[in-house]
Structure 1
């Protein structure tokens, strides 16, 4: 249902909601009844919070979450055969974008491309939350919580002042004792309900995001970790640690910056989104292959539908090499497929796709590379052999 609504409608709706709560509460409820300049000063912190809400929302909406550079490849030294007991496959590959995926990247079906360190696609900002704008998004929801809590506090103070005036027939220190009219009462109720609902909803979101921040995981990675723990508990793979949880302080610095005094100040993302610090002693392959896969998916049963699809595809290609075959049976959905519907391939399949980007068959000196410069497809042939040579044999 939400997919049918244009993203800009959500953005306009959020802006209107912020404006209504921020300014109707001041113009219709607080300012008309304030008596002293000291009371007016109560609104200064609130307006500062509103300013940060707007600015961080603007940054979250307009900042690109992060794109994979053209022809990016994982280090060739990390190519290795499948290790079923550890759930290790080849580097993740996106069929839709026809590119390898850096660590923590996923394909977004709404943005129609891969996003660096994708957390989730948020309709309220009409954008993905990824490496480049995750800090802006986190600060936005924190400032929303603070602003809503502040306006609720002011509203409660206003109600208490009215009740005191009614009971004691005298004004409180900060407010006139004039009885509010129906117009003011309606706005008070509307502001309180809206602010409370927003605080409740965004508060739950920000609490969960803060939990993920402390563990240096995205929404998708939180789901992945649960799945990996299940595989370990069932004895399908060996125990394995999540590689990106490097300690609470460093985890926060990865998103909000190295200076704690500026954590709530808008600033650029840390790093390039292509590589990330990992726990000491981590297998260098793991960040590129995370999450480990179920070994049953690496060794399909002859009774499985996946195996049958593979056999049918092979028969069809044997009869007609030019046939258009769905490659889903050779790949696997990434852990974010419930969000992104992205296809990821193991190393062998990914290498076949990469050969279209590089001329690895050229023999002229201009096309020769050192081992450090050779593309991944060169090493893939070392591992899997040259199909043409196998045919000649």
Structure 2
């Protein structure tokens, strides 16, 4: 029976992920962004709901028809040597080198952004800070970035006070007006 295909962990996990993405998108992102009571919010939610319904329908058709099964009457020809898998060039090395280069690049960018968040800076402020530190050293003074409060306070200022939402930050309601930010002079 085709309904027994639904009683598997991969099917349940796909439905769970689809439901989770739908809930987060409609009831958290769109609700916080424009609100579901507005015309733009209801239009966005209807469009996304339609796309999710089409995705679920496509998935259900794939599960019910099961197009990926090999026919039982299929028997490969063992004497046919026109296709030999050992004669193909190995692509593992090229793929591995590309993944290594991509990992190094993305790891460098991740490290750079973690550094900027822990020092509560943007890229422009970082380069301005280099120039300000050089000018301060030239005049015999010491320089410290005024918005660099401490590592934990910098992270909570950027990502919010709720540590459970750090991996998926949704709103910046903890910033109040978004114009004034705590400085080093305020905390001392």
Specify the TM-score bucket, using the shorter chain as the normaliser: 0.3 to 0.5
| TM-score when normalising by structure 2 | 0.47
> Which has the larger strand fraction?
1
Higher relative contact order (CA 8 A, sep 6+): 1
| TM-score when normalising by structure 1 | 0.24
> Which has the larger helix fraction?
2
